[in-house]
Amino acid sequence: MKLLDHYPLVTTARPHECRDFYTRFFGFETVFESSWFVMLQRPGDEGERPVTLAFMTPDHPSMPPGPEAFNGLGVLYTFQVEDARACEAELREAGVTISYPVRREPWGQIRFQCVDPSGLALDICEQVEPDPGFWDPYMG
């Protein structure tokens, strides 16, 4: 099988609020938009792949069978950034609720979490050196 593309499709009654959130804070651009569907893409820097996200209302006839509207449980979508503290400060200043305040984790991340308008939990992280010896018990 040749895989041509992949992206998450989040079923939500709030696709346009999601569009506003991701374009404002994460540099996504609108690729396609209608009353029931929004596709966003963040262009990759030179040599990087673009990142695509899509949001769809649950009541449209083209909705794939099976999934219910997203309920916010079971998914943590991670964005790796250069400066997690600055990103958290920007989101907090804009009034976005921070569900897990920024902190340095011993395994080598500075991270925080927030929730997008659809209820999707976002884990925003920056990679840093782990605490000395942290990974030793797990590598063997």
Q: 């009353």: which residue's tokens?
A: 35
**Does the pLDDT at position 67 exceed 70?**
no
Reduced to 3 states (helix: H, G, I; strand: E, B; else coil), residue 45 is coil
pLDDT value at 125 more than 90 = yes
Hey, is 33 helix, strand or coil?
strand
pLDDT of residue 6: 87
Give the global pTM: 0.87
pLDDT tens for 78-102 read: 999 999 999 999 999 999 999 999 9
CB contact set of 76 (below 8 Å; sequence gap of 6+): 113, 121, 122, 123
State the Cα–Cα distance between residues 16 and 11, nearest whole angstrom: 12
12 conformational bin, left if phi > 0, alpha if psi -120 to 50, beta if neither: beta
Residue listed under structure tokens 């346009």: 16
Q: Which domains does the chain have, with CATH numbers?
A: 7-60 (3.30.720.120), 71-140 (3.30.720.110)
Mean predicted lDDT score pLDDT of the chain:
92
- Which pLDDT belongs to residue 48? 83
